[in-house]
C-alpha cells in the first residue's frame, strides 16, 4: 500500500515541476480533467494499461520537444533567422501546448481517487515499470527545462512575455 501511494505522490510532484517552463513558453490549452478517466472506457474504471498509456503519451511528447529544442539550439548558435530555425521555432511553439496538455492529463490522473486505488493493487513488476517510466519522464523534463532556459537566454520565446 505504501509503495502505491509513494509512487502516485512522486509522479505528481515530478510532473508538476515541469509545468513552469511550459507555462512561460506556451499558450495553455483547456484540458478536461476527466480526460484520462474517459480514456478508460468506463467512468471510474481505470486500469494499469490505461494509466500506462497516458504516461507514455506524456513521455512521447517530451521526447519530441527535447529533440526540437536541441535542433533549435544548434540553429540559434548559427543563425536564428535561418528558415530552418524559424520552422523549428514554430513547431516547438505549436507543440508546447500539446505537451503541457499531456502533462496535465498525467497529473490529473495521478490525483484521481481511481488512480490512488489502482496504485494499491499494482504488482511489484508493474511498480517497477512505472518507476522506470517516471524516471524517464523526470530526466526528459529536466533536460527540456534546461534546454528551454538556455534557449530563453539566447532570445527564444513563443510570443509570451516574461514578467521578469
What are 60-119's pLDDT values in tens digits? 999 999 999 999 999 999 999 999 999 999 999 888 888 888 888 888 888 888 888 888
Identify whether 24 is part of a domain. no
Total domains in the chain come to 1
Identify whether 20 is part of a domain. no
Identify whether 35 is part of a domain. no
More confident residue, 60 or 14: 60
Q: How many helices (H) and strands (E) does the chain have?
A: 7, 0
More confident residue, 99 or 30: 99
Query: d(Cα 13, Cα 9) in Å, to the nearest integer?
Result: 6
Identify whether 39 is part of a domain. no
Domain that holds residue 108: 2-13+46-152
For 156, residues 6+ apart whose C-beta sits below 8 A from its C-beta are 72, 76, 80, 89
Report the mean per-residue pLDDT for the chain. Answer: 76
Q: Indicate whether 145 pLDDT > 80.
A: yes
Query: d(Cα 68, Cα 158) in Å, to the nearest integer?
Result: 14
Q: Indicate whether 7 pLDDT > 90.
A: no
Global pTM value:
0.70
Identify whether 32 is part of a domain. no
What is the predicted pLDDT for the residue at 119?
84
Identify whether 119 is part of a domain. yes
What is the predicted pLDDT for the residue at 164?
42
Identify whether 40 is part of a domain. no
Identify whether 131 is part of a domain. yes
Q: Indicate whether 49 pLDDT > 80.
A: yes
What is the predicted pLDDT for the residue at 160?
58
Q: Indicate whether 56 pLDDT > 70.
A: yes
Using a 10 angstrom Cβ sphere, with 0-12 exposed, 13-18 middle and 19 or more buried, the burial of residue 25 is buried
Across the range 127-154, mean pLDDT stands at 91
Amino acid at each position: 500500500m505504501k509503495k502505491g501511494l509513494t509512487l502516485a505522490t512522486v509522479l505528481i510532484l515530478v510532473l508538476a515541476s515541469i509545468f513552469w517552463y511550459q507555462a512561460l513558453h506556451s499558450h495553455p490549452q483547456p484540458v478536461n480533467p476527466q480526460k484520462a478517466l474517459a480514456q478508460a472506457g468506463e467512468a471510474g474504471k481505470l486500469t494499469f494499461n490505461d494509466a500506462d498509456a497516458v504516461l507514455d503519451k506524456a513521455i512521447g511528447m517530451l521526447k519530441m520537444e527535447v529533440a526540437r529544442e536541441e535542433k533549435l539550439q544548434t540553429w540559434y548558435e548559427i543563425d536564428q533567422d535561418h528558415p530552418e530555425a524559424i520552422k523549428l521555432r514554430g513547431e516547438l511553439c505549436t507543440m508546447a501546448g500539446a505537451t503541457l496538455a499531456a502533462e496535465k492529463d498525467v497529473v490529473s490522473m495521478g490525483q484521481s481517487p481511481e488512480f490512488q486505488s489502482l496504485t494499491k493493487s499494482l504488482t511489484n513488476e508493474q511498480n517497477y515499470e512505472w518507476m522506470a517510466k517516471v524516471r524517464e519522464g523526470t530526466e526528459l523534463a529536466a533536460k527540456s527545462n534546461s534546454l528551454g532556459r538556455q534557449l530563453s537566454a539566447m532570445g527564444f520565446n513563443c510570443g509570451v512575455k516574461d514578467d521578469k
